[in-house]
Amino acid sequence: MAETILVRVGGMDRPGITAGLMKVLAAEGVELYDVEQVVVRGRLALGLLIAVPEGRSTIKNLLFHAWQAGLDIDFEVVEDAPPERGVETVVTVIGPGVGPAAFGAVAQAIADAGGNIERISRLSRYPVVSYEIGVRGGDPVRIRADLSAVAVDHGVDVAVQPEGLTRRAKRLVVLDVDSTLVQDEVIDLLAAEAGVEAEVAEITARAMAGELDFAEALAERVRRLAGLDELALERVRRRIRLTPGARTFIRTLQRMGMKTAIVSGGFSVFVDRIAEDLGVDRAVANELEIEGGRLTGRIIGPVVDRERKAAILREVAAEQGIPLDQVVAVGDGANDVEMLATAGLGVAFNAKPAARDAADTSLSVPYLDAILFLLGVRRDEVDESEPVPVDGLPPV
């Protein structure tokens, strides 16, 4: 009769360790149930679950092999059990730094909700620190709620997603532009050129207070831009700043074979240029009317409001034959709420409360490429496909 034994092996990692152990096990005719291995700072931790037939000298031979190889090894007889379920929930922790207090609070929240941590892997050390935690069991609703409180208390972002093919098979990313893909609100830059900053800011405040809807507020603000010439538009175009990590984010998505789209309540005269610069597959924004080289203060065609943003997301997904659960949407404001709710994964990026409430998860770090970590992409995978860094600095 066979005994089920858990073998734990440790030591400095080097090529051939796993192969040597497997050679011993094969010679003994044991059955291999499971194996897991991780290397942390060059030190190996390897676990093997095996069935040892009665009368075999497996333990003795493993001990001798480990002694020869300079490895630490121990054994534990375990009860036979049905195969365990795999990881059901993935928790991603992201922050400028993730210390023991924050990590401990995350682990405690998972345990309090009945979850068990099955694996932990580091995704990045820069521009932010991030970890992915695989959790089995527990109440996902409670895990999400408790980790939201942990995130606030410890200044980290925590995302909770169901594990499965859908999470790993995202195929389309749709982004807002102002204060998401770029750092600026372009309407404010235009208002500065026209000398109507205070008026535009007052209209924006009224819209945020619910006194005006988006289309009304946009029309009121654009009307005050009448007379701006194309030289002013070019000055604004040169002042627009991409969000840190934007190029890396888009470039990595493209190398992963994913489609990208930007959908903006801003203006096509700027958004189209950004899309061309980044190589984005589709761009939709409001069109400013220009006559005789100057803005008329009017918009041509339908306004890109919150409903139209969601409709465009669905349209692009349908054109590409991509199910909505394989779409990621990223935005920061109330105008993005429907879009965030429509996508399989809605990410609120440095967002206002309305967007955070509608999204599946939120990020408060200033780097757009941190969204890659929510998709399970590791920083070293990004760097392998990035251009050579300048002056020894990591690409951003």
Residues annotated as part of the active site: 176, 178
DSSP letters spanning 280-341: -SEEEEEEEEEETTEEEEEEES----HHHHHHHHHHHHHHHT--GGGEEEEE-SGGGHHHHH
- The strand pairing partners of 328, in sequence order, are 173, 345
For residue 267, give every residue at least 6 positions away whose Cβ sits within 8 Å of its Cβ, in sequence order, or none. 186, 285, 286, 287, 288
| Spatial strand order in the sheet of 3-12 | 31-40, 43-52, 3-12, 72-77
Q: Is-contact 303 266, C-beta < 8 A?
A: no
How far is 52 from 73, CA to CA, in rounded Å? 16
- The strand pairing partners of 92, in sequence order, are 132, 159
Helix (H) or strand (E) holding 387: none
For residue 186, give every residue at least 6 positions away whose Cβ sits within 8 Å of its Cβ, in sequence order, or none. 177, 178, 236, 240, 266, 267, 270
Alpha helices in the chain (DSSP H): 17-28, 58-69, 100-112, 140-154, 165-168, 186-194, 197-208, 214-223, 230-239, 246-255, 268-278, 306-320, 337-342, 353-358, 371-374, 379-384
- Token pair 């235009």: residue: 190
Give burial (CB, 10 Å; 0-12/13-18/19+) of 128.
Answer: buried
How far is 327 from 345, CA to CA, in rounded Å? 6
For residue 72, give every residue at least 6 positions away whose Cβ sits within 8 Å of its Cβ, in sequence order, or none. 9, 10, 11, 66
Q: Can you read off the two tokens belonging to residue 227? A: 């007379």
Q: Can you read off the two tokens belonging to residue 191? A: 């208002």
